[in-house]
Amino acid sequence: IRELLSEVTRPVLTYGTSDDADFQLTDLQQSEGISHFNVLDRKSDQNFAITLNMPGLHNALNATAALAIARNLGVSVDACQSALNKFAGVGRRFNILGELTVNTNKVLLIDDYGHHPTELAATIAATRASWPDRRLAVVFQPHRYSRTRDLFDDFAQVLSTVDVLIMMEVYPAGETLIAGADSRALCRAIRIRGQVEPVFVENKDALFEIMPGLLADEDILLVMGAGDIGTTVHELKVHLGGQN
């Protein structure tokens, strides 16, 4: 993008974490799903304190972009701060579904639409930053055999970074099976890396049966994927003892 700026004839407004950004994100702190950070408006030399009810550098950057546009349109600082503080996010993007009691263990359940390795990495990093001392259990349903094939190594790498991994079969989205691009193959690749022992489940009934025995007190249970996992997560919540 920097290389293209010299060719742009329209007014340009930049944002980010770099020192030369027009709106610079600084001092990001995250705790229990909430982000606190500052945004420096270099044109006015004003520093704005922002509270965002979602974690992750990517979300803080999105908020900084929204702030930059709003300020450029003349929206007041107070209105920007209030709007960002009240923003509750969008469906299936780091939705905290509540704390469940599973065999006397307290488990925080989070639902997320992420299904690309870059999305997975960002969401996992955001979760780790918000709850650094808690174990992270992930249920993941890959979306499409072709995506699993094309990004196979990237999936294996990012999914190897969690503490507990439960893999559901690929949601085909109309595709036919591609040899070596299903969840069993992905589990084998992750197992070879030696960082986490993946557990494969064939269907949601198997997931419901196995989950209670895999969870420990204070776990974060992050359920991710773009297929019917979005419905399954609510059934899982009820099965584990929570209200739908």
Residues 42 and 121 in one domain: no
Tokens representing 31 are: 């705790």
Residues 160 and 232 in one domain: yes
Last residue of a domain, one of 86, 111, 145: 86
Condensed to tens digits (0 to 9), the pLDDT of residues 41-56 reads 999 999 999 999 999 9
Residue with tokens 């939705």: 95
The 8-class DSSP code of residue 2 comes to G
Residues 66 and 118 in one domain: no
Phi-psi map region of 181: left, alpha, beta (phi>0 left; psi -120 to 50 alpha): alpha
**Residue span of the structural domain in which 144 resides:** 95-239
Last residue of a domain, one of 86, 113, 130: 86
* Mean pLDDT in residue range 132-140: 98
Residues 55 and 104 in one domain: no
Pairwise CA distance, residues 5 & 131, whole Å: 38
Q: Is residue 244 part of a domain?
A: no
Residues 99 and 7 in one domain: no
pTM for this entry:
0.92
5/105: higher pLDDT: 105
Last residue of a domain, one of 56, 86, 116: 86
Condensed to tens digits (0 to 9), the pLDDT of residues 166-195 reads 999 999 999 999 999 999 999 999 999 999
For 98, list phi and psi in degrees, rounded to 5. 125, 170
Number of domain units in the chain: 2
Pairwise CA distance, residues 23 & 39, whole Å: 6
